[in-house]
Amino acid sequence: MGALQGIRILDLTRVLAGPWCGQVLADLGAEVIKVERPKKGDDTRAWGPPWMKDNTGQNTQEAAYYQSTNRNKLSVAIDISTPEGQELIRKLAKESDVLIENYKAGSLKKYGLDYQTLAEINPQLIYCSITGFGQTGPRAQEPGYDFIIQGMGGLMSVTGERDDLPGGGPQKLGIAFSDITTGLYAAIAIQAAIIDRYTSGLGQYIDMALLDVQIATLANQGMNYLASDQIPVRYGNAHANIVPYQVFQASDRDFIIACGNDSQFINLCTAIDRSDLARDPRFKRNADRIAHREQIISELAHHFKTKKADEWVRKIHAAHVPVGLINDLKQAFEEPQVRERNMLIKMEHPQRDELTIVGSPIKMSRTPVEYKLAPPTLGQHTKTVLGRFLSSDELQKLSQQGVIE
């Protein structure tokens, strides 16, 4: 029994931020009904290759992108642009605890699927809207894309190599950071609203914006600026507030040192046979090392090129200083720690016997995450879900009209 067992969520979202939120809640035991367009479905169904392969090794039309964020959900294909489809959504909303949507601000009102309308039908409904810029402000009506938000929200200004080094310049992250973090914040907000409803007896409206989340997750970099009025710069693989805390090059490959305090720095210097650096007054405290960043990094960089990365990692790890190699995804998935933590899960899929997916990082002792449903095929559960309140004849008629699939 998942922690959210008994909670029904109507998921009208596409692409990443909203579906990510829905998947987190589904992993925790909620029933998540994903509403998709007939024939096409979620946009990410077409975002391949790569595609999932069937048992014979042939490509299916199930995109890996879609599968990354839609497990444990029921797929119901409904055309919400039709009056009949809108009525189906209202019926589902009446029996749901939460509705999540990521349409352009205000656009569901013309369908009678906005919060005010649905709250009259179901006063306990928690309605979460996820947009690029929120429901208010001068850009509220604009679509929001993660790449644009990473740029506007300052993240790219502190990500990437320094301008004075080869390859310098702003960089986006290799994943859609603002999408994923907005999905996580939305899941937190929804659970808080569920808890509030136990005492108030009422639902509420949640307004989540990618740009808001991006600003919030600037974290220490944001406060560095507010505290100093100094605009943070890019440090590449180095850290603005800690030295040494970056990538170094050994004789064969790169590795990372994350030296978080002065004691660790002493242990690091001892482990690599450079105790003289720990005694140097320029490098004794972290503040000193920041002031003399170029000098200490130059000393370490020259020294680390004398041996292979594995040897350095072994020596430094033995000294209890955070250190590690840089893995590609194959190496990351093969890490013994990753395997031991069950971060790769195998599930049955309608088009193949066994599908490997990335598991949830949430580990709970009494209400653990369960993996009940592989990412669904389009409309896989339409008749099952709508059959709760429609007859077989009604379902057939709606299917013939193209309202459902």
CB atoms within 10 A of CB 380: 19
Burial class (CB in 10 A: 0-12, 13-18, 19+), 82: middle
Tokens of 42: 């979620």
Beta strands 126-131; 98-101: pairing state: parallel
Burial (0-12, 13-18, 19+ Cβ within 10 Å), 377: middle
Does residue 393 have an active-site annotation? no
Distance from C-alpha of 14 to C-alpha of 374, rounded to nearest angstrom = 17
Cα separation, 157 vs 166, whole angstroms:
17
From the list 81, 85, 164, 89, the residue with the least C-alpha distance to 121 is 89
Under a CB-based contact definition with an 8 Å cutoff, are residues 28 and 72 in contact? no
User: Which residue of the set 179, 280, 353, 393 is catalytic?
Assistant: 179
Q: Could you tell me which of 209, 26, 221, 220 has the C-alpha nearest to residue 129?
A: 209
CA distance 225 to 217: 14
Burial of 204 (0-12, 13-18, 19+ CB in 10 A): middle
List the catalytic residues.
Answer: 179
